[in-house]
Structure 1
Amino acid sequence: MDGGRSCEDATLVSVIIPTRDRADMVVRAVASALAQTHAVLEVIVVDDGSTDDTPAALAAIDDPRLRVLRHAPGRGVSAARNRGLATARGEYLALLDSDDEWLPEKTTRQLACMRQRNLAISQTQEVWMRGGRRVNPGKAQGKPDGFFFEQALGRCLVSPSTVMFTREFWEELGGFDESLPACEDYDLWLRTLIRHPVGLLDELLAVRHGGRPDQLSAIYVGQDLFRIRSMAGLLGRSDLTPWHRDCIKKELRRKALCYARGCLKRDKPEEAVRVLAVAEKAAGGKLF
C-alpha cells in the first residue's frame, strides 16, 4: 500500500462528527481529520444542540472543508450521524466521535486497504486512553477480521471512530436506529455482518479517549436492555439464515436472563417479567 498515493488521489472522503457540549474535544477531533495526508475530504460536524462554546470554537476554524450543521437539541447521536451522512457527498464515508482523534495516515492507509481487499466497510486498530493515560485493551476487546456475527452478538467489536465504508454500503444498510439511545452502533454492526464482512486494517491509526462521565457507556449503565431490543428487532428480518436465527436466540436468552436477574436484585420484578416477555415474543416461542 502506497502511503504517498493520497497526493494524487481525488477520492472525496466525508468525515461525520456528532457532538454536544465538547468544545475543546471536538476542535481536537476536527483538527485530526483536517490534518489527514489524504487531503481530499469534507468534515461535517453535527452539533446536537450544544450550550457551551462549541459553536464559537468551530466557527474559529478557517478551513473550507469544514461544514457545521446545527441540530435540534437532544435528538441523540444516531440522529446526528444520520443527518451528517445524509448530507455527505463523499464516495467513502467515515465516522469520528468528537472525543476521539485520528493519526495523520489513517484515511490514506484505510482507503488503500479497502481498495486492495475490495471491502465495503473496514475498521482500524486504535490506541486506548483513559484519564489521559494509555491503557491496554484486554483479549475480549480484540477486533476480528471478516464475518464475526456470532462474536458481535456478545459485545460490540467495531469501533465507530475507526470505521470507513462506501456510499453504496450505507445506502444498502440504511441509518442508525434513532429509537436506541445507546448501543446504536452494536445494532448497525449486527445488521452489517449479516451481509458483509468487516475488514480490519491491523494498524494503530486512531486514538480512543474514554473514562468520562458524559459518555453513553456511563450515562446508560444497563446497556444490555438496548442490545435485547436490537436482537428482538433482528429476529423480524426475512433474510436471516437458520444459523443466524439460532445465534440470536441463544444470545438473546443469555442477555435477557442476565438483565432480569439484575432487575430482581434491584427489586424491579415487573421490569424483569416485561423484558423476558419481550425476548420470548421476539423468539416466536418458548425461550426460557
Structure 2
Amino acid sequence: MKVSVIIPVFNASLYLTRAVESVLIQPEVDEIILVEDDSTDDSLVICQMLASKYDKIKLFRHKDGVNKGAGASRNLGLLNATNEYIAFLDADDYYLPERFFDTQKIFQTKEVKVVFEAVGADYQNSTAKIKHLERIKAANNPALNSGNTMLLESDTSKVLESLILGGKGWIHLNGLTIKKEVINSETLFNESLRVSQDSEFIIKLAIKHKFKNGQFDRIVAIRYVHDNNRIIAGDDKTKFIRKARFNKILFRTVLKNSKFVSFRVKKVVLIRYSESFIYYFYLKGFFRKIVKAIILGYAILRFPVLIKEFI
C-alpha cells in the first residue's frame, strides 16, 4: 500500500514539524504533499526546510502565492498526488504510530473505496477543551467522554444517512483514507467554503461510494485543539452564517444526486436549508414560521423534482 498524504499549511509554524514527522514514520506513506497557503508566519520557511531535507516531501503553492483556503489547498494536493491511496492531515494535528495498519487490511475488500477511522483529541488548554467537548455534545456524538471523533456506523449502506441525520458522531478528515479513483471534478473540495468544506467533501463521497469503518476504539490520529481553530472560533452569528451557507450548498449537492439519496435524507436536508435562513436573520415566533414557509415554497418551485417527493 502506497499512500500520498496531503497537508494544507496556513500559519502552522508551531505545529508543522510535528505533523510531518508523524507522517514520515508511517511505512505506507510514499509521498507527503505540503500545500503552503500564503502564511503570515514562518510556515513557508519550515516547509522549504522540510522539503529539502526529506525526499518524500513535495511542496506546492497556489499561483502567485495567494491565499485560497484549506479546500483549494487540498484540491491542489489531490491533483498532484501520484499514489493509489490518499490520506489527509491538518498541519496542527498528527498521526499516531501504525496509522495505516488496519487501513490496508480493510481495503483488501475490492468494493471499498473509502475507509474512515477514529481520531482523538489533545488540547492546548482547558478553554479549548471545553469548547471542543461542547461542540461534540451539541452534535450528539456518542464518544463524548473520550473526545473521540468517529462515526459509529458499521452498516456501509447507512453511512450517508447517519452523517446527515446525526446522532452517531462524524468522520474527521485526519481519519479518512480514499482511493484516488474516486476523485473527479464533482468530488473535489468546495473552494467557496472556508470551513466545513471537509464535511461537504465526505458527504459527496458517501453519496456514491462504499465506505468502511475501522475499529471504533482504535485512534489513528490526534486533532490538536487550540484557541485558533476556526471551527470553534467566532461568535454565534458567525457560526449561524457558516451553517446557513453550508446547508445551502448541501441542499444543492443532495438534489443534484437525488437518485442516489433516500427520501428521508432529502427531507431533512430541505428542512435544514429553510431553517438556516431563519437562524441567519434571528427570526422568532410568527415571522419565523412565515419565512420558513416562503423558503420551503421557493425550494419546491425552484426545483420541481421536489414536488412529487415532498407533496
What is the TM-score when the length of structure 2 is the normalising length? 0.76
Residue 164 of structure 2 corresponds to which residue in structure 1? 153
Say which of 220, 236, 260 aligns to 1:205: 220
Residue 7 of structure 1 corresponds to which residue in structure 2? none
Distance in 1 between the 2:85 and 2:201 partners? 17
Distance in 2 between the 1:256 and 1:176 partners? 24
Say which of 6, 11, 16 aligns to 1:21: 11
Aligned partner of 2:278: which letter?
A: A
Say which of 251, 254, 261 aligns to 2:269: 251
Distance in 1 between the 2:17 and 2:56 partners? 14
Distance in 2 between the 1:25 and 1:282 partners? 46
Q: Secondary structure at the match of 1:115?
A: coil
CA contact (8 A) 1:23 1:54 kept: yes
Counterparts in 2 of 1:5-154, with a 5 A limit?
Answer: 11-38=1-28, 40-61=29-50, 62-71=53-62, 72-116=65-109, 118-131=111-124, 138-139=141-142, 142-143=150-151, 144-145=153-154, 146-147=156-157, 148-154=159-165
Aligned partner of 1:150: which letter?
A: E
Distance in 2 between the 1:15 and 1:117 partners? 21
> After superposition, what is the alpha-carbon deviation per residue over 1:187-211, rounded to whole angstroms, capped at 9, x for unaligned?
2222222222321111211111224
Distance in 1 between the 2:116 and 2:257 partners? 28
Q: Secondary structure at the match of 1:23?
A: coil
> After superposition, what is the alpha-carbon deviation per residue over 1:145-182, rounded to whole angstroms, capped at 9, x for unaligned?
32322221145721111111111122485311112222
CA contact (8 A) 1:19 1:97 kept: yes
CA contact (8 A) 1:16 1:96 kept: yes
Structure 1 unaligned runs (5+)?
1-10
Distance in 2 between the 1:210 and 1:224 partners? 21
Cα gap change, 1:204/1:132 in structure 2, threshold over 3 Å: closer, same or farther? farther
Structure 2 unaligned runs (5+)?
144-148
CA contact (8 A) 1:94 1:164 kept: yes
Distance in 2 between the 1:281 and 1:130 partners? 47
Cα gap change, 1:238/1:197 in structure 2, threshold over 3 Å: closer, same or farther? closer
Distance in 1 between the 2:207 and 2:89 partners? 24
- Residue 101 (structure 1) shift: 0.7
- Residue 43 (structure 1) shift: 0.3
> After superposition, what is the alpha-carbon deviation per residue over 1:69-115, rounded to whole angstroms, capped at 9, x for unaligned?
12243211111000011011011111111111101201233122222
Counterparts in 2 of 1:256-267, with a 5 A limit?
Answer: 256-257=274-275, 259-261=277-279, 263-265=281-283
Distance in 2 between the 1:35 and 1:132 partners? 28
CA contact (8 A) 1:232 1:282 kept: no
- Higher mean alpha-carbon deviation, 134-143 vs 223-232, is at 134-143
Instruction: Give the paired residue count.
Output: 273
User: Is structure 2 residue 206 aligned with structure 1 residue 196?
Assistant: no
Cα gap change, 1:265/1:41 in structure 2, threshold over 3 Å: closer, same or farther? same
Q: Secondary structure at the match of 1:37?
A: coil
- Residue 249 (structure 1) shift: 2.6
Distance in 1 between the 2:190 and 2:80 partners? 18
Distance in 1 between the 2:250 and 2:113 partners? 23
Distance in 2 between the 1:139 and 1:260 partners? 28
Cα gap change, 1:263/1:93 in structure 2, threshold over 3 Å: closer, same or farther? same
Cα gap change, 1:261/1:239 in structure 2, threshold over 3 Å: closer, same or farther? closer
Cα gap change, 1:229/1:48 in structure 2, threshold over 3 Å: closer, same or farther? same
- Higher mean alpha-carbon deviation, 96-105 vs 141-150, is at 141-150
Say which of 208, 211, 226 aligns to 2:245: 226
Percent sequence identity over matched residues?
21
